[in-house]
A and B are shown apart, each in its own frame.
Chain A
Amino acid sequence: MRITPHNLILHELIGLRCRIVKSTDPGHVGLEGIVIDETLNTLLLKCEDGKIRRIPKRNSVFHFILPSGEIVEVEGVVIVKRPEERTKKIPEKRW
């Protein structure tokens, strides 16, 4: 079983391609890059221009591109958790 749209929230985000679709900061909208690190409140993206940007998870909506080519839309609020604690429990409310 690989990463699927169903278990993405529990799975590893590091290494996936990601695009920001919505954000309260208009400067972040449309950014695309590879996730290289993750903290409780932010994702660290390596963007195409070579810059590394730290993007808050809350107040953003992300599109993750899976290795299989599928695109999954994720509300940033859902993944506000430490990376190692995301897998710990399946949230009761399904996404």
Chain B
Amino acid sequence: MARRKSERALIRDIARQRMEILYEMASKLFEELPELAQRYIDLIRKISMKCRVRIPRHIKRRICKHCGTFLVPGVNCRVRLRTNRYPHITITCFNCKRQIRYPYKVNRVKKRS
């Protein structure tokens, strides 16, 4: 049993490293070969699903939630800060034209009396 558990930890570790490697290469290649970069991003999602490992957050925020496109601000998505109802970031994907919202917290500076 103990051995199985460590095996699983090993696999998760390797899967995370693979995702990092693929993400790095995708962001390097995006300007020259956007299709290949997209292929790497698809691989990241597949690895995460097959190995049941979460996609690291900084990578996940560069992937469209709806269509799986690699989002590059200023090229195929629009990023806006919005504060109606609750403070959040709105990312509009130009591929599927849908929006992703990520809330953020505002650090309020306490006034000294």
Contacts and interface: CB of A to CB of B under 8 A. Distances in A.
Nearest to A67: B21
Interface size class of B (residues with CB under 8 A): 20 to 34
A14 B47 CA distance: 13
Interface stretch (A23-31, A55-63, A71-79, A83-91): A83-91
**Chain A: interface secondary structure?**
loop
B30 to A, nearest CB: 14
Contacts, number: 49
A46 to B, nearest CB: 10
Interface size class of A (residues with CB under 8 A): 10 to 19
B31 to A, nearest CB: 16
A88 B50 CA distance: 7
**Chain B: interface secondary structure?**
helix
Contacts of A83: 43, 46-47
A7 B14 contact: yes
Contacts of A88: 11, 50-51
B11 A10 contact: yes
Given A14-B40, A37-B36, A90 B10 contact: yes
Given A14-B40, A85-B50, 5 more contacts: A10-B14, A12-B18, A84-B47, A87-B47, A87-B50
7 contacts: A11-B14, A12-B22, A14-B22, A15-B21, A83-B46, A84-B51, A85-B50
